[in-house]
Chain A
């Protein structure tokens, strides 16, 4: 089930973001915010009592105006505050259903977008760590294990074996920017090839590949899952650098930017779509 969900969300988001795989992340983020705003508006339109929602919102606004008008009357303020609270609760009650409907798609959408915006691809000359977490039944000291890699990758250190946490780590380097470099892990008679993304463009990265048995990790890392037969490996992780999103000289987290842009598009689109929220 999770695999199916991941496959669908990978495909849909891949299609959405493909035209925006350019150097700047902003076009892609703006497009994603637009789609998200649209999705949210449609959910609100069809999953809420729009008339009741509008009424409770207007009541709340009216209470706020009353507070402004009667700000010198202490008793009135207490009374209005109580009524504003009940208007708020009513508004929330009307909003809860569409919000609940939106919850899971939002989470899946954010997880997908993290692939583009949380980390960035490696650039030429950058070092990174490849961490192999073995299953607890396999001692990394004695498990036959080796890596090979494409021509655009160079190995900088030997394997660092950490028996205490069943991990093996290498330091590698991206020698040239290429979206389709790879590292191949040979473990016993099993093989897994992990894609390493090198580029200055907005491309999707998959920092962690996990074993399908780990549900939570599987949802959080939807791309490049480990095949079910690869039981000796628990996860494979690449340390991609964090993506920095700059607005002028100000650094802004991509989720904050997404939220602000989505609100903006929501307010613009509510009129043509006639949606109340």
Chain B
């Protein structure tokens, strides 16, 4: 063969091949991580609170055929949850691929060590540091800050940066949303317009109802004259005002002579409601500075009853997804586009109004109606997102099983103090129905997958009956670890207002967190760091795990952990001094969580919030279902991020501690 021809051919070959390789390289660069073995679609359905025992029970009853099929295709495993097994902690484990020492979320409630003031652990608001006072107004000269406190890596951000199109719908522990080009909508821990987890309003004519604040709500007395009542919908704190008064909005309620219909006018919205009816979403603008600044929220009205007394429930005012005061999504307009394409939706993180149920504002039927609405709304969005999901990573979250298990466990546990046969007959069907609905959602997801695609069905923890509540702070007080200012006022004060810090060595704050009053850390700390600190910790571990329930003889706390025993990572120092693992059926009491000292140590839980998971993690594994076999029967939540990244041949960052379940 002629050498020149060879050369030419080689040069041409190199040019052609080089060009081809270059184009493949650029395509590869755009699709980093998507090798031929990577799935085209990887879907994760986050079913908060799905319990493995209930899952198997309902599968056996034939209520969950899609989950059954998914398991037969691949695998099922009990998924090790977080310590403690609280949703913000657990989902942070999933998102960051590490334990709380790596992401900094240890409980729903954290405390400022400088003031002992509690705050919600996942978000912090810092007001403007410079303001200008003009009359009654206080104008900010620098921006206030709302920051997400979850640290460490974020799974979808890593994927998106690697060129994997990612969507995380109602992403937990993501408010405000982590900056990313992925499509994300904030989920649990997103506050309402007041900055809380949801404050409902009840406007009632009933004379026996005491107006004022209740946990998670406020009750207002109204009086109807000439069939009309003027009401005030409380708005957020108006930080533009010196007195930080609320930016309230008045509205008008009229009732017809027969007392069957109410006519409500609020700003430009007008609607009629019959007794027992819910309104659509209503947009309300809360004025901060008239004509110049306002905050937009959305809420729903429910005319509970008209006879003999008018009672009108208004849902927590959610942040308006079309005009959010604080971003709810990435990109910013994603939330608004959802409204345009599908309709308004609950933006608060915990939309099922368990506070209204606990306060007796909702009866079981009413709560069930509202919870079903939340589920139906969520299913609508699942359908919408599935229809436009063609490739990449997709995470979709459901809150229904978690919040309804909290509310309705008393209907399925005959040993719960609130259980009755009648209750079981009336509402015992709701839990299986919900599981069936979520199974159908799994089925819908499976329809959108090809053979090589991956589907994970994940829950962050299981559930157990919450029968007995333990007043940790009361036990600490009566066992010499805490002291009151006045023994007579014991049980009256909240937020440690009656605590004599000069004689208090330990205090419980949050659901599973126990802190020592350390000198140099707490403002009135008395415990010396070092030997004394360790001695008390060891003593508390021994004594707390020895506590027995006088009624049942059961151990109240099965484990009390030092953070270094269960956590690793750069944020271990932020952890509580001890993490309390309650025995099954036991949990911290409602009073002790925020620093109260009732007289009893342990008593029945008589709140409708009758199921829980803030107990020892060993009892509360979640579920992991997958359409592929995994290589272990003991996976953990923090393994999933590593597994997902590995599916795309992406190296997990060093902060992630999990292993690849397909490795």
Q: Is the CB of B226 within 8 A of A160?
A: no
Give the contacting residue for A164; candidates B228, B280, B340; CB below 8 A: B228
Query: A160 CA to B273 CA in the complex, in Å?
Result: 10
A162-B254 in contact given A157-B272, A249-B333 (Cβ < 8 Å): yes
Residue of B nearest to A161 (CB): B256
State whether B226 touches A161 (Cβ < 8 A). Answer: no
Which residues of chain B in 162-210 are interfacial with respect to chain A, using CB atoms and an 8 Å cutoff? none
Which residues from chain B contact A263 at a C-beta distance below 8 Å?
Answer: none
Number of interface residues of A (CB under 8 A): 18
Whole-angstrom distance between the alpha carbons of A244 and B336 in the complex?
A: 13
Q: Which residue of B lies closest to A250 (CB)?
A: B333
Q: Counting CB contacts under 8 A, is A147 at the interface?
A: no
**B384: A residues at CB distance < 8 A:** none
Q: How far is the CA of A160 from the CA of B336 in the complex (A)?
A: 35
Interface of A is mostly: strand
Contact A249 B272 (CB under 8 A): no
B228:A160 contact, CB within 8 angstroms: no
Q: What's the nearest-Cβ distance from chain A to residue B335, in Å?
A: 11
Whether the pair A249, B270 counts as a contact (CB closer than 8 A) is: no
Hey, what's the 0/1 contact readout for A223-263 against B, CB within 8 Å counting as 1? 00000000000000001000010100101000000000000
Smallest CB–CB gap between A212 and chain B, Å? 25
Which residues of chain A have C-beta atoms less than 8 A from B219's C-beta?
A: none
The answer to whether A249 and B337 touch across the interface, beta carbons within 8 angstroms, is: yes
The answer to the question of A270 belonging to the interface, with a C-beta cut-off of 8 Å to chain B, is no
In the complex, A141→B258 CA distance in Å? 12
Bound Cα distance A175, B227 (Å): 31
Asked if B8 is an interface residue, CB under 8 A from chain A, the answer is no
Q: Is B113 an interface residue (CB 8 A)?
A: no
How many whole Å from A120's CB to the nearest CB in chain B? 14
Q: Is B271 an interface residue (CB 8 A)?
A: yes
> For residue A242, which residue of chain B has the nearest CB?
B268
- Choose one: A129, A141, A158, A251; the contact of B271 (CB below 8 Å): A129
- Name the B residues within 8 Å of A162 (CB-CB): 227, 254, 263
Residue of A164, A171, A244 with most partner-chain B CB within 10 A: A171
Residue of B228, B256, B270 near A239 (CB, 8 A) is B270
Give Cα distance in the complex from A246 to B280, angstroms.
Answer: 22
* A129 contacts B226, C-beta separation under 8 Å: no
Contact of B261 among A157, A164, A249 (CB under 8 A): A157
**Which residues in B have their C-beta under 8 angstroms from that of A127?**
280
Tell which of B228, B254, B260, B270 touches A158, judged by Cβ atoms closer than 8 Å.
B260
B628 CB within 8 Å of chain A: no
B528 at the interface (CB under 8 A from A): no
Any B CB within 8 A of the CB of A169: yes
In the complex, chain B residues whose CB is within 8 Å of the CB of A244 = 340
Minimum CB distance partner of A237 in chain B: B270
Looking at chain B's contact residues, the main secondary structure is mixed
Set of chain B residues within 8 Å of A141, measured between Cβ atoms: 257
- Please judge, given known A-B contacts A158-B260, A162-B254, A164-B228, whether A169 and B340 are in contact too, CB under 8 Å: no
Query: Cβ of B227: which chain A residues have Cβ within 8 Å of it?
Result: 162, 164
Supposing A129-B270, A164-B228 touch, asked if A158 and B261 sit within 8 A by C-beta, the answer is: yes
Known interface pairs A129-B271, A157-B274, A162-B254; A169-B260 also in contact (CB < 8 Å): no
Tell me the chain A residues, 79-97 only, with Cβ under 8 Å from chain B: none
The smallest beta-carbon distance between A53 and chain B, in angstroms, is 35
Closest to A244 in B: B340
Decide: A129 and B340 in contact? CB cutoff 8 A: no
Convert B323-362 into 0s and 1s, putting 1 for each residue whose CB lies closer than 8 angstroms to a CB of A.
0000000000100110010000000000000000000000
- Residues from chain A with a CB closer than 8 A to the CB of B322 are 251
Report how far A129 CA is from B279 CA in the complex, Å: 13
Q: How far is the CA of A110 from the CA of B260 in the complex (A)?
A: 41
A204 to B261, CA, bound (A): 31
**Nearest chain B CB to A196's CB is how many angstroms away?**
17
Q: Which residues of A contact B257 (CB under 8 A)?
A: 141, 161
Docked CA distance A127–B280 (Å)? 10
Contacting residues of chain A (135-182) with chain B, CB-CB under 8 angstroms: 141, 156-158, 160-162, 164, 169-171
Q: Mark A49-87, 1 if CB is under 8 A from B, else 0.
A: 000000000000000000000000000000000000000
Tell whether A171 pairs with B272 under 8 Å between CB atoms, given A158-B261, A249-B333, A249-B336.
Answer: yes
Interface string of B250-280 (1 = CB under 8 A from A): 0000101100110100000011101000001
Q: Which residues of B contact A129 (CB under 8 A)?
A: 270-272
The distance from the CB of B451 to the nearest CB of chain A, in whole angstroms, is 36
In the complex, the chain A residue whose C-beta lies closest to that of B340 is: A246
Q: Complex formed: what's the CA distance from A244 to B67 in Å? A: 42
- Chain A's nearest CB lies how many Å from the CB of B9? 52
Q: Are A164 and B272 in contact (CB under 8 A)?
A: no
Interface code B230-262, partner A: CB below 8 Å = 1, 0 otherwise? 000000000000000000000000101100110
Q: Mark B270-311, 1 if CB is under 8 A from A, else 0.
A: 111010000010000000000000000000000000000000
CA distance A141 to B226 in the complex (A): 14
Which residues of the other chain, A, contact B337 by a CB distance below 8 angstroms?
Answer: 249
Instruction: Compute how far the CA of A31 lies from the CA of B257 in the bound complex, rounded to whole angstroms.
Output: 50
> Quick one: which of B272, B280, B340 contacts A160, CB cutoff 8 A?
B272
Which partner residue on chain A sits nearest B255 by CB separation? A160
A164: chain B residues within 8 A (beta carbon)? 226-228
B509 to chain A, nearest CB (A): 43
**Residues from chain A with Cβ under 8 Å of B256 in the complex:** 158, 160-161
| Residue of B263, B336, B337 with most chain A CB atoms under a 10 A cut-off | B263
Interface string of B34-68 (1 = CB under 8 A from A): 00000000000000000000000000000000000
Compute how far the CA of A171 lies from the CA of B303 in the bound complex, rounded to whole angstroms: 15
If A129-B272, A171-B271 touch, whether A160 touches B333 (CB-CB below 8 Å) is: no
Contacts of A251 in B (CB 8 A): 322
How many whole Å from A48's CB to the nearest CB in chain B? 35
In the bound complex, CA of A171 to CA of B270 (Å): 11
CA distance A157 to B306 in the complex (A): 15
Please, which residues of chain A bring their CB within 8 A of the CB of B340? 244, 246, 249
Q: Quote the shortest CB–CB distance from A39 to chain B (angstroms).
A: 32
Q: Are A160 and B261 in contact (CB under 8 A)?
A: yes
User: What separation, in Å, do the CA atoms of A171 and B227 have in the docked complex?
Assistant: 19
Residues of the A chain whose Cβ atoms lie less than 8 Å from the Cβ of B263? 160, 162, 169
**Nearest neighbor of B261 in chain A, beta-carbon distance:** A160
Taken together as a complex, chains A and B put the C-alpha atoms of A158 and B257 apart, in Å, by 12
Write the nearest CB–CB distance from B70 to chain A, whole angstroms: 35
List CB contacts (< 8 Å) of B452-492 with chain A: none
**In the assembly, what is the distance between CA of A244 and CA of B340, in Å?**
10
User: A71 CA to B153 CA in the complex, in Å?
Assistant: 53
**A169 to B272 CA separation, bound complex (whole angstroms):** 8
Q: How far is the CA of A129 from the CA of B261 in the complex (A)?
A: 13
Return the chain A residue nearest B258 by Cβ: A158
Least CB distance from A124 to B in Å reads 14
Residues of B within 8 A of A239 (CB): 270
| Residues on the B chain within 8 Å of A171, using CB | 271-272
Distance (whole angstroms) from the CB of A17 to the closest CB of chain B: 24
Shortest distance from the beta carbon of B228 to any chain A beta carbon, whole Å: 7
B contact residues around A158 at 8 Å (CB)? 256, 260-261
A161 to B280, CA, bound (A): 22
Bound together, the chains give a CA A161 to CA B261 distance in angstroms of: 10
Which of A162, A170, A239, A246 has most chain B Cβ within 10 Å?
Answer: A162
The CA of A164 and the CA of B256, in the complex, are separated in Å by: 11
CB contacts (< 8 Å) of B254 on chain A: these are 160, 162
* Chain B nearest Cβ from A103, distance in angstroms: 25
CA distance A91 to B227 in the complex (A): 58
- What is the CA–CA distance of A174 and B256 in the complex, to the nearest angstrom? 24
Q: Which residues of A contact B272 (CB under 8 A)?
A: 129, 156-157, 160, 169-171
What is the CA–CA distance of A144 and B305 in the complex, to the nearest angstrom?
29
Distance from B420 Cβ to chain A, minimum over Cβ atoms (Å)? 36
Q: What are 7 of the A-B contact pairs (CB < 8 Å)?
A: A129-B270, A156-B272, A157-B274, A160-B263, A162-B263, A249-B340, A251-B322
Given contacts A160-B254, A161-B257, A169-B263, 4 further A-B contacts (CB under 8 A): A157-B274, A160-B272, A162-B263, A171-B271
User: Lowest 7 CB-CB distances: which A-B pairs, in order?
Assistant: A171-B272, A249-B333, A160-B261, A160-B256, A157-B272, A160-B263, A157-B261
